[in-house]
Amino acid sequence: MPAPFPAAPEIGRPAASGRRQGRWRQAMMLALAMGCGFLVANNPFRPSDNNPDATARGYLRFKEILSYVDRDYADSVDTEQLADYAVVQMLEKLDPHSVYIPARDREKSDAFLQSDFDGVGIEFNLFRDTMTVVAPLSGGPAEQAGIQPGDQVLSIANKRVSGARLSTGRLTELLRGPRGSNVVMELRRRGLARPLILSIARSRIPNSSVDAAYLVDEQTGYIKVSRFASNTYDEFKTALVDLRRQGLTRLVLDLRGNPGGYLDRATRLADEFIGGSRKIVYTDGKGDQYDSQTYARVAGEFEEGALVVLVDEGSASAAEVVAGALQDHDRAIVVGRRTFGKGLVQQPIALSDGGELRLTIARYYTPAGRSIQKPYGANYAEYSRELTGRSARGELASADSVHFAKELRFRTDHGRTVYGGGGIMPDVFVARDTLANSAYFTRLMSHGVARAFALSFYQAHKAELEGLRFEQFNATFRITDAQLVSLAAQAAQDGVTTDAAAMRRCAPLLRNQLKAFIARSAFGPVAYYTVLREQDAELQRALHAVGDSTAQLALLGK
């Protein structure tokens, strides 16, 4: 569920003599000294004084070179863009996760961890360069204005968006705006001869990070946490209390694909499962100022009872902290595949130009002492290809392909062997679904063909679907062979070459995915996840593990 740079350098003028250049350098040194004084006073990191002279020389060298490039280079250059590039290259030499975020991108970067935003509240799909509504968010302005799943958006704020080749990010920007402001949207709806023109007042939209929370049976709960945003803990606690009220006695916590987020939200979530005052995580940095230890401190909502945590190679950072703590204390069985391996702590530093530096200041360690961070060396490109390498090595298909160094062996509270040095290795390995990652199925999904087909079906059969309860739909609805043929033909028109053999292999998975998309439009997100469960091998294994009390006790060494 799974973090900036002085103001633009002053441009110097040509020096007429060595003496004048010397005076220029002295002036620069004085300015640097004054600037350092400002940084020391305002920078919470308290810059190290181990080697201040080298830092000053490096700063002056960069400033001088940038000045000469701007003044004397044969062609006109964008010095700000050059400075941004230099900063990015410098930070990549440190580690893969220290980053500079320019002011223009900061709002977009921060939005991922916000618990709400101002907008109209629609989930949409982009298919054949046409924006199609998947669902209006419950209670939002779009739903109140009458927008329906399957509506195609032609224009937003008098800007043509259909066929305009706009990115998903740009479309999102057009929908969002100050609370209370109006946006005019033109939509095409099946069965209507003319487009609809709606004026919608933007309002505050919840940006939930708990994607689903429901009872699988009378005792077993399922909670999906997609990231650790500002409101994640509160959302999670509300969901957990509600499920406990419904009779939950065992739980599957799904952290697959969770890239992390705020550490304190993650540790508070873990505290709901860990009793006493046991350690949850600790960090180790340069000197004592970045060292910290976090312990359980509250009486949690679910400190007893069977617990399974689902992870995969997309689970990173704060998600790994949660999984590692629960595994080290033998509180949960971890099911899935080895997690990403992001165990570096970033401190956000606001810069004077509005940008932000997210600088690595420490490393995460699990209670048993395991480092979560995988090796990264000096080659950023190689680090970014590491997940692809796992597939090539067979690691995503077999636990036997995962190798840990013996010196990185650790013990859980009950003496089980676990390993450090790169992610959290699950207690129960589940191979990645080769059909879900087959080339043909992946193209169908990435082109938006499956979702577009499902939306079209929903619109054509909306009256029938509204006359059903979800339980009736789930028990009786099936995607036919003829519908799969129609889907393949539609995909071919969109550039996805028909592959009859590949279609036969992935047909069960594709039927399930189409049914889930239709259920999402007709019955909501819980229905979507309920349908998906049927073909979710990892979740099925997790449900088996959480329901088998004997296996739970044996695996956890109790």
Asked if 174 contacts 156 with a C-beta cutoff of 8 angstroms, the reply is yes
Question: Pick from 11, 13, 48, 53: which is nearest to 32 by CA?
Answer: 53
Give kind and range of the element (H or E) at residue 545.
helix 537-547
d(CA 361, CA 369): 18
- Among 151, 254, 271, 328, which one carries the catalytic annotation? 328
d(CA 482, CA 471): 24
Extended strands (E) in 91-177 = 99-101, 116-119, 122-127, 130-136, 152-156, 159-160
d(CA 252, CA 216): 10
Question: Pick from 384, 333, 114, 312: which is nearest to 227 by CA?
Answer: 114
Q: Which two tokens stand for residue 308?
A: 């399974």
Q: Say which residue the tokens 């597939």 belong to.
A: 391
d(CA 307, CA 296): 17
The CB-side HSE value for 277 (13 A sphere, CA atoms) comes to 1
Q: In whole angstroms, how far apart are CA 337 and each of 136, 394, 426, 557?
A: 34, 12, 6, 21
Supply the DSSP symbol for 115.
S
Q: Does 400 participate in catalysis according to the annotation?
A: no
Strand, helix or coil for residue 339 = coil
Transcribe 257-286 into DSSP letters.
Answer: T---B-HHHHHHHHHTT--TT-EEEEEEES
Torsion of CA 284, 290, 296, 302, to 10 degrees: -80
d(CA 316, CA 258): 6
d(CA 265, CA 236): 10
* CA distance between the termini of the chain: 29
- Among 63, 224, 279, 342, which one carries the catalytic annotation? 342
Q: Centre a 10 Å sphere on the Cβ of residue 187 and count the other Cβ atoms it contains.
A: 23
Provide Rg for the chain, Cα atoms: 27
Supply the DSSP symbol for 537.
H
Q: Does 317 participate in catalysis according to the annotation?
A: yes
- Among 98, 317, 427, 536, which one carries the catalytic annotation? 317
Q: Does 75 participate in catalysis according to the annotation?
A: no
Question: Pick from 149, 135, 142, 144: which is nearest to 119 by CA?
Answer: 142
Question: Pick from 438, 356, 460, 482: which is nearest to 148 by CA?
Answer: 460
3-state helix, strand, coil in the chain (%, to 5): 40, 20, 40
Catalytic machinery residues: 317, 328, 342
